[in-house]
Amino acid sequence: MGETLTPLWYHKYGVMDVLGFMSRSGTNLLKLGDNQKLLDTLPDGCPYRLVGIVSNEKKSKVVEVAAKLEVPFVLLDKFEFRREWNLTRDQAREPFHEELYNRIKRKFDCPVAALGGYMDIIPKSFIQRFRAMENVHPAQLDVLDAFGKRAYIGDDATQKVIASGEEYIYSTVHIVTEKVDDGPILVVSPPVRIQRGKNYDPTNLEQRKNLGELHQNVLKYIGDHTAFPRALEFTARGRFSYDSHGNYYFDEERIPKGVTLDGVVRT
């Protein structure tokens, strides 16, 4: 008898409500909104609905993004929270997200969270409040280092990919866990060829940072803005599922490396 699979979302429940999370520009969430409008012009409509925005930084563009998407928002600045309670970043993580959730639940009853540039490590207690939480990451997550761990994680992932000698860079949508960029892979974007130039020096930190920012900006359009909406669409249509061992599936086929935009299982 085969393994029993649990869908990330039962599409028979109807449209999947999504809560977007951001810390800076929010362009990834705007793209989710654009994709929603596009799919709504088709006979089947869009299977997900972006119902609100959450931000953890006052300097973000959450007000503008929420206005463009015509949805309500929640803003709680993590820096002000730490100062008010005299807490370090690590000390504040749990209580901050507890207070953030208290504010969220006053406005929203939302089963799925979509992280588009949300800059923080999220505690397990917060993740468990949602049926699913998905994040878009500006690098490939199926490459392992010499210790068998993911090689390109963290805020400087794009720089790491470029410095490593990889020919291409990809965006990856993955399930969020309490470990940074460690969750199961769902969707991987088309590749962006890395352009280092003749004078590239990986030991030059300023050059490495500038080149990383340049490629991340290009990747946002080719990678984030294609893979992120497609992952939510696949999720809302009930195509992703998981088993009791934490393995993920697409249309009941194992996907240790995720799928492409066309739903092809990557090997």
E-strand ranges in the chain read 6-7, 16-22, 48-55, 73-75, 112-115, 132-137, 168-169, 172-175, 185-188, 192-193, 240-242, 248-250, 253-254
pLDDT-based confidence at 71, cuts 50/70/90? very high
| pLDDT at residue number 12 | 86
| pLDDT at residue number 244 | 95
**pLDDT, tens digit, for every residue of 20-63?**
999 999 999 999 999 999 999 999 999 999 999 999 999 999 99
Per CATH, the architecture of 6-254 is what?
A: 3-Layer(aba) Sandwich (3.40)
By mean pLDDT, which of 108-112, 184-188, 192-196, 203-207 is the weakest? Answer: 203-207
| pLDDT at residue number 93 | 97
| pLDDT at residue number 199 | 86
Q: Which residues pair with 242 in a beta bridge?
A: 6, 248
Smallest CA-to-CA distance from 93 within 133, 61, 126 is with 126
pLDDT-based confidence at 201, cuts 50/70/90? confident
Average confidence (pLDDT) over 245-265: 97
* Sequence-distant (≥ 6) Cβ neighbours of residue 238 within 8 angstroms: 7, 8, 9, 10, 11, 12
Average confidence (pLDDT) over 182-190: 98
pTM, full prediction? 0.96
- Longest CA pairwise span in the chain (Å): 59
**pLDDT, tens digit, for every residue of 72-110?**
999 999 999 999 999 999 999 999 999 999 999 999 999
